Amino acid sequence: MGLHPLFSLGGRLQLCASMVRPGTALADIGTDHAYLPIWLAKQGKVARAIAADIKLGPLMKAEANIKRYRVKDIVSARLSNGLDAVFSTEADDIVIAGMGGEMIIQIISAAPWLKNEQKHLILQPMTSAEPLRVFLAEQNFAVLQEQAVVEDDRAYSVLLVRYSPEKVTVDELYPHIGKLTANTEDNRAYIRRRITNLEKKAGGLALSGKDSEAAELNGLIARMKAMLEKR
């Protein structure tokens, strides 16, 4: 059998990996090729990991890679719709990356055991970040950390969240930029893209005579622009 040097993760998965607690039991939901758990296992950063996917094709890819990189003592592939086939005792850090925000909402809703202060969720929505953030706040998941990354000319945000027994309160900017601050170039790129997006939306609202809604959005846009200028 040939030697397979370890691959490097792209910026998006690298950022997800950086939020995983060292020595944790990991579940990577929607793992596809299983690069994230394999990379973490190879670096000695996880005690064990479940690489879960809903589809057989990706799961077979995951299994082949687990074998190729010789991490089968640490990483196991599992067919699972969301967390349906994962027991609460099996995972403390749960990554759900590379899928739509609506699907992430469904997966979290179907696993009530995630409402536990010991569990960390690392979430990276490809779309619909806004409804995901609103859902998380409504369900009392607090964002401990949020960071953006630009990869292949797209800006992604990664959220580290944990259930909070106390009421989670958020401000008006939170649905749009979560807990991002303007402290990195990638965060600023994400915020700039959100501004462009909201400007289009505000323009549409103004055109259809919804002046007060447009004014409200313009207020948020001004606050986001001020964040970019202030740093």
Ligand X SMILES: C[S@@+](CC[C@H](N)C(=O)[O-])C[C@H]1O[C@@H](n2cnc3c(N)ncnc32)[C@H](O)[C@@H]1O
Tell me: does residue 51 bind ligand X (CB under 6 A): no
Tell me: does residue 114 bind ligand X (CB under 6 A): no
As a whole number of angstroms, the distance between CA 13 and CA 7 comes to 12
In the complex, minimum distance from the CB of residue 150 to ligand X, in angstroms, rounded to a whole number: 15
Tell me: does residue 81 bind ligand X (CB under 6 A): yes
Tell me: does residue 14 bind ligand X (CB under 6 A): no
Count of beta carbons in the 10 Å neighbourhood of residue 139 = 16
Which CB sits closer to ligand X, 4 or 55?
A: 55
Could you tell me if residue 153 is left (phi over 0), alpha (psi between -120 and 50 degrees) or otherwise beta?
A: left
Tell me: does residue 177 bind ligand X (CB under 6 A): no
Handedness of CA 4, 10, 11, 14 (dihedral sign): negative
Which CB sits closer to ligand X, 34 or 195?
A: 34
Among 49, 51, 99, 227, interactor with ligand X by CB under 6 A: 99
Handedness of CA 49, 105, 173, 161 (dihedral sign): negative
In the complex, minimum distance from the CB of residue 145 to ligand X, in angstroms, rounded to a whole number: 18
Tell me: does residue 97 bind ligand X (CB under 6 A): yes
Tell me: does residue 24 bind ligand X (CB under 6 A): no
Question: 121 - beta bridge partners?
Answer: 94, 161
Listing DSSP states for 187-199 in one string gives HHHHHHHHHHHHH
In the complex, minimum distance from the CB of residue 35 to ligand X, in angstroms, rounded to a whole number: 7
Tell me: does residue 125 bind ligand X (CB under 6 A): no
Point out which span in 48-56, 66-74, 202-210, 223-231 binds ligand X (CB under 6 A): 48-56
Residues making up the chain, counted from first to last: 231
Whether the Cβ atoms of residue 192 and residue 180 lie closer than 8 Å to each other = no
How many residues bind ligand X (CB under 6 A)? The answer is 17
Point out which span in 29-37, 41-49, 163-171, 198-206 binds ligand X (CB under 6 A): 29-37
Listing DSSP states for 106-164 in one string gives HHHHT-GGG-STT-EEEEEESS-HHHHHHHHHHTTEEEEEEEEEEETTEEEEEEEEEE-
Residue ranges that bind ligand X, judged by CB under 6 A: 13, 29-32, 52-55, 58, 81-82, 97-99, 103, 107
